[in-house]
Amino acid sequence: MRLIAALLLCWCCFDLVTLKKSQAAELEVEVVGLRSEKGKVRLGVCKDMACYERGSGFFMNIAEKAQAVGVVFTLKDLEPGAYTLLLFHDEDEDNKFKKNFIGWPLEGFAFSNNVSPGLGKPDYEDVVFTVGETQTKQKITMLYW
């Protein structure tokens, strides 16, 4: 009887792991339009509006070496759902997004859905996108002011 119970438990756990893996998705983020090969391109991934509004507390925070042709981030095993992306070109690799004394960006920046902002950060509704159960792609052009 214990053997049967143990086998059933193993079978159920295996099914849960298989189900979770089958629901995992992949996100490919291609960043183009870099003005130099200096530094790194930093990507912050948010799973909710609060993270996006704060610009911190990222679900994922990763960086790739800047290249003239651009950078590709491949994020694997994401849960399907709503996400936003905030990016910047950290040319001096100080891990900080630089602005001048009136708040204008001094480094390249970008948002998911390739949204170009007006005089402030774009609305959450404009940058949020859905990752489904298959591969999702975002092609984003870095902006410099």
Separation of alpha carbons 77 and 65, rounded Å: 23
Question: How is residue 102 annotated by DSSP?
Answer: T
The model's confidence at residue 133, banded by pLDDT at 50, 70 and 90, is confident
For residue 3, is it within any domain? no
CATH value at residue 53: 2.60.40.1120
Domain residues for 77? Answer: 22-141
For residue 93, is it within any domain? yes
Cross-strand bridge partners of residue 41: 64, 89
For residue 1, is it within any domain? no
Per-residue pLDDT at 128 exceeds 80: yes
What pLDDT score does 22 carry?
55
Beta carbons within 10 angstroms of residue 72's beta carbon: 15
Count of domains forming the chain = 1
For residue 5, is it within any domain? no
- Which residues does 33 contact at the CB level (< 8 Å), separation at least 6? 70, 108, 141, 142, 143
Q: pLDDT tens, 8-56?
A: 444 444 444 444 445 789 999 999 999 999 999 999 999 999 999 999 9
For residue 54, is it within any domain? yes
The dihedral through the CA atoms of 43, 48, 53, 56 has a sign that is negative
Q: pLDDT tens, 68-118?
A: 999 999 999 999 999 999 999 999 999 999 999 999 999 999 999 999 998
For residue 132, is it within any domain? yes
Separation of alpha carbons 26 and 102, rounded Å: 38
Specify the higher pLDDT residue, 135 or 71. Answer: 71
